[in-house]
Structure 1
Amino acid sequence: MCSNCDYTIHGRHHHFGWDNSFVPAERVAPGSTIAFNCLDSSGGHFDAESHVGDVATLDFSKVNPVTGPIFVEGAEPGDALKVTIEQFKPSGFGWTANIPGFGLLADDFQTPALNVWKYDASSLEPALFGKNARVPLKPFAGTIGNAPAEPGLHSVVPPRRVGGNLDIRDLAAGTVLYLPVEVAGALFSVGDTHAAQGDGEVCGTAIESPMDVVLKLDLVKDARLKMPRFTTPGPVTRHLDAKGYEVTTGVGPDLMTGAKEAVSQMVDLLAGRYNMDAIEAYMLCSVCGDLRISEIVDMPNWVVSFYFPRVVFE
């Protein structure tokens, strides 16, 4: 998997949820480079032959499996785990689904939908969606974090102070991520890899795609970090910027309502302009459109904007 790595952690070493009593898959010294074999967020439920009927049989107790955990020698509560994201090795297969009851516009889209993606794992050329849309790719790990201090098993779905299901698109190759350590050894795990995602992941899924991830794990002693933080190696939207954006907005006293309004208007715009089913436009927004808080100081109303890259259709 990785000739220059100190360790390889195979996908069979995965777990569901966070629990600081899990037995480590490996114990490593700070500064180790590790290759992780990551499953997709369905844990292999979907494959290249899947159809929309398979959405109904997805087991939510077994979503977002993460590979690990890794015990980092010398890591103690109060330290920060420094994660250098070195490389992704994509698989070429992915899926995006609308799962009833899940997603920003769950009340509007109550029927299941599924798009199975095939993309070039070597060139990472934009992936075809429908007949005309081509989505630029940017691999990253959606779930990346340490075990929490609280005992017991905790769901992997919500993000946490120690990381977890952050779904931050810019945790891509070259980024350095810092995570608070709450238990001895940190107990780090990673998974939920994506080939592409818009900021917000509005339908609840991205281009979910199994792939290998190469990371370097190091320590910052006594960092007293309150929340995750990260540093990117350069610009973060070049893969989307070439043709500009279509932008819709939501204005009002509630950010969540504003976000829903902005996305709903973009779904209507795309469906009407490109003769798409609304649910297809919704999924497309999830994999390449970006939600932004444009203004949060001019009370009592705030502005949420949704940016859709024109390069997808041009």
Structure 2
Amino acid sequence: MPELIFPLDSTKKFTDQAKIGHNRWHPEIPPVATVRPGDSFRVHCREWFDGAIHNDDSAEDVRDAPLTTVHALSGPFAVEGAEPGDLLVVDILDLGPIPQEDSGPLAGQGWGYTGIFPTKNGGGFLTEQFPDAYKAIWDFSGQVATSRHVPAVSFTGIVHPGLMGTAPSAELLAKWNARESALRATDPNRVPPLSLPPEPQDAVLGSVPASDFDRIAGEAARTAPPRENGGNQDIKNLTQGSRVFYPVFVPGANLSLGDLHFSQGDGEITFCGAIEMGGFVDLRVEVIKDGMRKYGVQENAIFMPGRIAPQYSDWLAFSGVSVTLDGEQRYLDSQLAYQRACLHAIDYLTTFGYRPEQAYLLLGAAPIEGRLSGVVDIPNSCATVYLPTAIFDFDVRPSASGPAKIKQTATTPHATFG
């Protein structure tokens, strides 16, 4: 086993560990450990809410989830010799739920969860149709996930870190804050907001000195979106065997990671759409000197997907075009087209007896594939959702006999604001 350089004790909060991670991006957060090019090492990761979501039949924890605390990130890890302008090469050697802990109160101890976040607390891809909070608990058996809240399905997970990236430079951080502030200013009262400003409340900044804490907390960027450094990209194919090339913006690169998922559909459409969990990741790092200039990788990460993925061969695909539910034509709006494809899939699954929220939770958690199928045929973009048929315990394909009806065994946890 590679050397464990960031351990987590499951009996302690993320902020009470021997080594403290962080939940904001800032170039002055000191590294918790230093590795050399060619090193392999193991990192423990806490579920993104640090245990705030529970294995129960209530969705009040999702409704009230403390968004100012996320994401609980392991790191930063400095890489000897890495300098701005280099590319950091990160190989994902292995990863999984919390080792040797198959039961317990933390997500990753034999279970995980998917949440539909309410519009007033984060929202999601289909928040206009699903404004309330819902939750599904998933149990792990090897690589397979099943849920008491979404009956008659089981599927093989594709484990991956939802978030991994390098630290921004001071200049890049300032650019993020300026452009996201300008976006918020276009509709400052929007719910959910157009972007998240720096938030000192609940900021975790590793070993930043007390004398600098308030200043850094007031500048540091939230970890919610993907950016030039990688970050919260939520790419389900960043799994075992993947090789990722990250731009380096600060000396040492300062790599951080977290937000582990047992499984996810393309888009993580419910916002907390993956099966969230804590666990471990084994990594190896290398450095390509002057790689950003050599390969034209200035403001994005590139990657080679892993070869470990569920082997599904039969799919039922749903299409959508860029026309709103009330009939308004939009010009080549691919996001709208994908929303409509997802809604068509949800409508279809309800004919078998699934409630709409169950179908939505399933599309977020199962290894669906989302595709931009047409982006040039004015005025309509076409997007498609591919649903693997083998995940169902019954034949989900259309037939002359009509849709089978599932047996509902539990109520999906649901919570609203009082």
2: distance between equivalents of 1:193 and 1:83? 16
State the SS of the aligned residue for 1:88: strand
Unmatched segments (≥5 aa) in structure 2: 9-16, 98-107, 174-218, 323-331, 394-418
1:30 corresponding residue in structure 2: 37
Distance 1:84 1:113, change over 3 A: same
User: 2:131 — aligned with what?
Assistant: 110
Corresponding residue SS for 1:95? strand
CA contact (8 A) 2:96 2:262 kept: no
Q: How does 1:122-271 map to 2 (within 5 A)?
A: 123-128=142-147, 130-150=150-170, 151=173, 152-205=219-272, 206-224=274-292, 225-226=297-298, 227-234=300-307, 239=310, 241-242=312-313, 244-252=314-322, 253-271=332-350
Partners of 2:316 and 2:79 in 1: how far apart? 45
What is the rounded CA distance, in whole Å, between the counterparts of 2:146 and 2:238 in structure 1? 20
Cα offset for 1:50? 6.3
Q: 8 Å contact 1:41–1:191 — kept in the other structure?
A: yes
- Larger CA Rg, structure 1 vs 2: 2
RMSD: 1.6
Deviation at residue 240 of structure 1 after TM alignment: 5.0
Q: State the SS of the aligned residue for 1:283.
A: helix
**Over residues 228-281 of structure 1, what are the superposed CA-to-partner deviations in whole Å (9 max), with x where a residue is unaligned?**
1111343x65x1524x112111123211211111111111111222x1110111
Tell me by how many angstroms 1:49 deviates. 3.6
Letter in 2 for 1:211: G
Number of the residue aligned with 2:392: 313
TM-score when normalising by structure 1? 0.92
Scaled by the length of structure 2, what TM-score is found? 0.70
* Match 2:3 to one of 2, 6, 13: 6
Contact 1:66 1:189 in 2 (8 A): yes
Q: How does 1:23-62 map to 2 (within 5 A)?
A: 23-49=30-56, 51-62=58-69
The alpha-carbon distance between structure 1 residues 43 and 76, as it changes in their structure 2 partners (threshold 3 A), is same
Which deviates the most, 56-65 or 44-53? 44-53
Partner of 1:294: 373
Q: How far apart, CA to CA, are the structure 2 residues paired with 1:6 and 1:210?
A: 19
* Structure-1 residue corresponding to 2:82: 75
> How far off is 1:131 after superposition?
2.5
Cα displacement (A) at 1:127? 2.7
Could you tell me how far apart the structure 1 residues matched to 2:68 and 2:306 are?
36
Match of 2:203 in 1: none
- Partner SS for 1:311: helix
Contact 1:10 1:67 in 2 (8 A): no
Which stretch shifts more, 22-31 or 174-183? 22-31
Alignment deviations for residues 68-93 of structure 1 (CA, whole Å, 9 cap, x no partner): 00111111111011000001131322
* 8 Å contact from structure 2 (residues 167, 229) kept in 1: yes
Structure 1 unaligned spans of 5+: none
Question: How many pairs align?
Answer: 305
1:32-67 superposed Cα distances (whole Å, 9 cap, x missing partner): 212111011222111324621111221101122110
Q: Which structure carries more strand by proportion?
A: 1
Structure 2 letter corresponding to 1:138: I
Q: Does 1:96 align with 2:114?
A: yes
**Distance in 1 separating the partners of 2:374 and 2:52:** 40
Q: Deviations over 1:150-189 (max 9, x none)?
A: 3530110000111110100011001111111011111110
Amino acid at match of 1:282: Y
Identical-pair percentage: 29
Q: Secondary structure at the match of 1:45?
A: coil
Matched residue type, 2:223? V
Letter in 2 for 1:251: V
Alignment pair present for 1:65 and 2:72: yes
CA deviation string 1:97-125 (max 9, x = no partner): 111122110011011111112212xx213
2:21–2:74: 8 Å Cα contact kept in structure 1?
yes
How much does 1:299 deviate? 2.8
Amino acid at match of 2:25: W
Q: In structure 1, what is the Cα distance between the partners aligned to 2:43 and 2:58?
A: 28
